[in-house]
Chains A and B, each alone.
Chain A
Amino acid sequence: MLNRRGVLAAGAAGAMLPGPLSRARAQANTIRLGVLSDMSGPYRDATGPGCVVMTQAAVAEFGARGFNVEVVQADHQNRPDVGANIARQWYDQGVDVVLDVPTSSVALAVNQIAREKNKVFLNSGAATSDLTGSQCSPNTVHWTYDTWMLAKGTGAAIVRTGGDSWFFITADYAFGHALQRDTTRFVEAAGGRVLGAARYPFPATTDFSAFVVQAQASRAKVLGMANASTDTVNTIKAAREFGLHRSMKLAALLMGLVDVHALGLESGQGLLLTESFYWDLNDRTRALTARVRAQNQGRPPAMVQAGCYGAALHYLKAVADIGVAAAKADGRAAVARMKAMPTDDDAFGPGRIREDGRKLHPVFLFEVKSPAESRGPWDYYKVAATTPGEDAFRPQAEGGCALVRS
């Protein structure tokens, strides 16, 4: 027998069903974008709801061109099984594009499903360079950044300034290992050496002082942090506290604007980090920021969020070009058209998408400002170096992507 609680639970489950989807299924003239992201976990601030806001900004900028665009969203909780399930359901129910998908393990799962179902996967949030390497797919575009570019951007730049011996503090899982491996290649190629590494359990580590002291004892010149988000912030805090920054350079290999905000400029000043977008780069990025800031909880967009905007906008242009019916029927054709058209948007400027699905745009090495240099909240970076897109990412021939004709 159904009791009151059972009825409530059934009602709640019903409310979560994608009602608008089934209603709109008949509308063949609607393109549906699904933002699948971390809405409740550690990466929420760097992607998450902000990515939805930026996707909507792209839709608004694209305007009305004879078809409707709908944006839906879901939380993958950084779990591959949850993410794969939602992506499968979405694609079956008429969602044409899955967007964002931070967390490399989830992204690789969705990558497979998009290919299987011949839909489109526009990745902005995940780091793994395998998306355009060994696991590249004709249905996928990897828009914003990847581990290879980070390793080259920050790693190689620091070796050039004389940092030729390294000690790594590495998150003990696929992402941390990949980042350490890629950076090590650049360090060694430039004649540097890696003196040691401490792999700490992820995500169960809060205190990094033990590893910071080990790094100090190694007498290396550079501390490479192959981790992300809160872990990086806690590592830097510990390094500052134990006076590590006086004897070693700190290399945060994956760090973004929200992490600098969390760390504060007092502890963050002087850090070098690599990103492909910053809100205060030029007039176009500032104009974009002014348009979206109010919806984005008063914050300027972060790099991955900007990627959601750029990828969505370019996809919509490709759809307008080949027609809604063709784009909905054949994800591969839509991605092929995206690759054939040059890209241009307010976040990344002009660029292009390579055969292996890699989006090319300039990459910046930023230095974090000191509290005295900063004019206020979110004024955190100054540009230390710019690398053109063609040089910033892994050469296509080295990635091992099967789509690339040799």
Chain B
Amino acid sequence: MLEFLESITGVPTPLLFGQLLLGLINGAFYAMLSLGLAVIFGLLNIINFTHGAQFMMGAFVAWMLLNWLGLGYWWALLLAPLIVGATGVIIERTMISRLYKLDHLYGLLLTFGIGLMIEGVFRNEFGSSGLPYRIPAELQGAWDLGFMFMPIYRGWVVLFALICCLATWLVIEKTRLGAYLRAATENAALVQAFGVNVPRMITLTYGAGVALAALAGVLAAPIYSVNPQMGTNLIIVVFAVVVIGGMGSILGSVLTGFGLGIIEGLTKVYWPEASATVIFVIMAIVLLTRPAGLFGRA
């Protein structure tokens, strides 16, 4: 079987396995980021273009905690999402909440502008070339899997992302709070009539979506350069993931995130020049054949 694979693809099997695994790791980032976007869109109907900047803020807050307060990676994993989530709550309360009655486009423009401003402020303060952040001592090193070296930290990223995705899905689908949220999406006025504080729920949901982006930022800090534009490249791909998965579908965005990570990984082996384009080709095909996305409800 393996020889057969090798003979038709022309790529040694160990290399192929390695690339599949790497694709899965990148997929974990896509899944975490698109999850936050999907949660926000599903409940607020806002396309959150600030998401990339908030991912970047997560990484920067991790750096600040370490260099200014001496708090390491594990504290950052807890505190950075809370801090960045709190800024999200402020943004929602003071600005985004004024736009709910208007067309989607206004929310998109507003969040896009806020994102640009946040990136500009960080660039002014920290420069554009980036800051170093080390892999925590507990997760350094690599396992020799026979066909490749697997850095322990990357394994941790996949595991942690899976847990986050599962937890988010459970909260929204299986708890009373989640039921309120879903009900408020369908008919906010009715839910409010039952005595549920819907505006507060929406604010906290936005904060939670932003916190997920920040959490992904903390996970990314040790392996990518921590710089103000680090979210920009990633976020375009993540939007494609959300569109392919179906706007607002949580399970859809998670599965699509992992799936596209793998497809992108394989493209990097066979045709590296096209690895940035392949996701958008898939997006175009999906939009033509299933406009609501693979897992969306039309």
Contact = CB atoms under 8 A, between A and B. Distances in A.
B88 interface: no
B272 A211 contact: yes
A174 interface: no
B136 interface: no
Contacts of A211: 268, 272
Interface residues of A, number: 42
Contacts of A234: 224-225
B142 A229 contact: no
A262 B277 contact: no
A45 interface: yes
A262 B130 CA distance: 5
A117 B224 CA distance: 44
A241 B229 CA distance: 22
A45 B129 CA distance: 6
A95 interface: no
Contacts of B133: 264
A204 B233 CA distance: 6
Contact of B273 (A42, A44, A201): A201
Contact of A41 (B15, B128, B272): B128
B113 interface: no
B148 A213 contact: yes
A203 B120 CA distance: 19
A74 to B, nearest CB: 17
Nearest to A213: B18
B276 A210 contact: no
B273 A46 contact: no
B22 A209 contact: yes
B182 to A, nearest CB: 34
A46 B128 CA distance: 9
A205 B275 contact: yes
B227 interface: yes
Interface in A223-271: 229-230, 233-234, 237-238, 241-243, 258-259, 261-264, 266-267
A263 B272 CA distance: 25
Interface stretch (B149-157, B252-260, B281-289): B149-157
B123 A40 contact: yes
A-B pairs with lowest CB-CB distance, top 4: A264-B132, A201-B276, A262-B130, A204-B276
